[in-house]
């Protein structure tokens, strides 16, 4: 059955046209010289352990629904194979979350809502789907052709999570924004939320070798490595739970770290300032059902300015 026929059937059934059977997202017209040698294999919450035993729990934390797996092989070079996994994560937020946990830098390829490319693998997310490809040998053009075919078949129109756009761009380390479904900043009381990594010194200049796709460590005026800090956004179901989490953080700092009595006046009454034993200096502000904070900074003024900009973006 062709793609257009699938869309007609789903429309007549009153189901969104993008809510297709996950196996139908696998590419049909393969790049020249390649063929399907294994799969498609369908997995569910009950059977995912059979496929990725060591990582299944992480997927479950991000709302895993089901997935499909296939292996493609070069007909003339059978040792050259490309494995493909397509995961239905239930929502675009969860798809971004698992994508953000697996990418290891900023090497986008212009696929889906965001993507990560390296010599042997491609990751991307689009709508509620997270897609991974792994090649035994580097085949960048073939892999990109395959992911373009998959992306074109994913019709889920969901945009990327709005919270990504709350993070100020100045000083943001590319590819560093992550979504945690629980335990944000390593604290259970913060529960779920986003965090981004920033380079503190505005004078930092990172040189990127485009040909080798390698990054030179950022150096400051003195030649040392630069300090990084995190901006974060913890999300709660209502303001009451947000207040409880702020109090829990304060209690934690009283026992394990330090709480400072004075807080910057511009952030208002519901502000916590202190030192986390693992994260360093922290400044946390309640805004509605969000806790918005900064952790691990050294310079007070730039940190406060970054936090103020993020609060403005949220409002």
Q: What is the pLDDT of residue 225?
A: 64
Tell whether 30 is covered by a domain.
Answer: yes
pLDDT at 227: 86
Q: Are residues 195 and 103 in the same domain?
A: no
Question: Is position 144 within any domain?
Answer: yes
The reply to whether 121 and 176 lie within a common domain is no
Please state, rounded to an integer, the average pLDDT across all residues of the chain.
88
- Same structural domain for residues 211 and 127? no
| Domain end marker among 153, 176, 211 | 153
One domain for residues 213 and 279: yes
Within a domain: residue 63? yes
Token readout for 220 is 């400051």
Tell which of 124, 153, 182 closes a domain. Answer: 153
Do the domain assignments include residue 8? Answer: yes
- Residues 90 and 11 grouped into a single domain: yes
Number of structural domains (the chain) is 2
- Taking the C-alpha atoms of 27, 33, 39 and 44 in order, what is their torsion angle to the nearest 10 degrees? -40
Is 167 inside a domain boundary? yes
Task: Say if 158 falls within a structural domain.
Answer: no
The CATH number linked to 34 is: 3.40.1000
State the pLDDT at residue 232. Answer: 98
Statement to judge: residues 219 and 249 lie in one domain: yes
| 232 lies in some domain | yes
Residues 180 and 248 in one domain: yes
What are the start-end ranges of the E strands in the chain?
34-44, 66-74, 81-88, 114-117, 121-126, 129-135, 178-180, 193-199, 208-209, 214-215, 228-235, 258-259, 271-276, 280-287, 290-297
Q: Do 109 and 198 fall into the same domain?
A: no
In 200-279, which ranges are E strands?
208-209, 214-215, 228-235, 258-259, 271-276
Mark residue 39 as left, alpha or beta (left: phi above 0; alpha: psi -120 to 50; beta: remaining): left
Same domain? 269 vs 212: yes
Quote the domain boundaries for residue 264: 163-314
Which residue ranges in the chain fall short of pLDDT 50? Answer: 1-15, 17-18, 203-223
Question: Are 148 and 235 members of one domain?
Answer: no
Name the domain boundary from 133, 153, 173.
153
Note whether 35 and 109 are same-domain residues. Answer: yes
Nearest to 69 by CA among 43, 30, 94, 106: 43
Q: How far apart are CA 102 and CA 87, in angstroms?
A: 13
Among 145, 155, 135, smallest CA distance to 22 is for 155
Q: Is residue 38 part of a domain?
A: yes
Do 307 and 168 reside in the same domain of the chain? yes
- Per-residue pLDDT at 41: 96
pTM assigned to the model: 0.85
- pLDDT at residue 109, as a whole number: 86
Within 54-154, strands assigned E span 66-74, 81-88, 114-117, 121-126, 129-135
Pinpoint the alpha helices (H) of 155-275: 239-256
Neighbouring residues of 68: CB distance < 8 A, sequence distance ≥ 6: 22, 23, 25, 26, 39, 40, 41, 42, 43, 85, 86
Percent of residues in the chain assigned helix, strand, coil, to nearest 5: 30, 30, 40
């Amino acid at each position: 059955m062709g793609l257009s026929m699938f869309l007609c059937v789903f429309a007549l059934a009153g189901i969104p046209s993008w809510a297709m059977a996950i196996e139908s997202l696998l590419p049909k017209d393969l790049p020249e010289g390649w063929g399907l040698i294994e799969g498609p294999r369908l997995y569910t919450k009950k059977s995912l352990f059979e496929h990725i035993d060591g990582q299944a729990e992480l997927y479950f934390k991000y709302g895993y629904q089901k997935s499909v797996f296939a292996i493609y092989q070069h007909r003339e070079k059978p040792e050259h194979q490309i494995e493909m996994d397509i995961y239905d994560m239930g929502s675009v937020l969860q798809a971004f979350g698992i994508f953000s946990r697996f990418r290891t830098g900023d090497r986008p390829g212009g696929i889906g809502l965001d993507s990560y490319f390296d010599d042997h693998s491609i990751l991307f997310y689009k709508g509620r789907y997270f897609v991974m490809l792994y090649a035994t040998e580097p085949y960048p053009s073939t892999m990109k052709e395959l992911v373009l075919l998959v992306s074109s078949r994913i019709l889920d129109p969901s945009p990327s999570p709005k919270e990504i756009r709350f993070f100020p761009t100045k000083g943001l380390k590319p590819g560093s924004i992550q979504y945690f479904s629980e335990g944000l900043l390593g604290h259970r009381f913060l529960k779920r939320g986003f965090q981004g990594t920033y380079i503190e010194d505005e004078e930092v200049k990172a040189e990127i070798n485009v040909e080798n796709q390698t990054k030179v460590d950022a150096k400051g005026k003195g030649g040392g490595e630069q300090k990084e800090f995190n901006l974060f956004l913890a999300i709660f179901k209502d303001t009451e739970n947000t207040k409880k989490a702020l109090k829990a953080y304060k209690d934690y700092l009283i026992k394990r770290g330090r709480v400072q009595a004075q807080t910057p006046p511009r952030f208002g009454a519901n502000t916590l300032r202190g030192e986390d034993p693992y994260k360093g200096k922290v400044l946390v502000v309640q805004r509605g059902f969000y806790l918005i904070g900064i952790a691990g900074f050294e310079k007070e003024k730039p940190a406060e300015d970054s936090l103020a900009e993020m609060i403005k973006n949220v409002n």
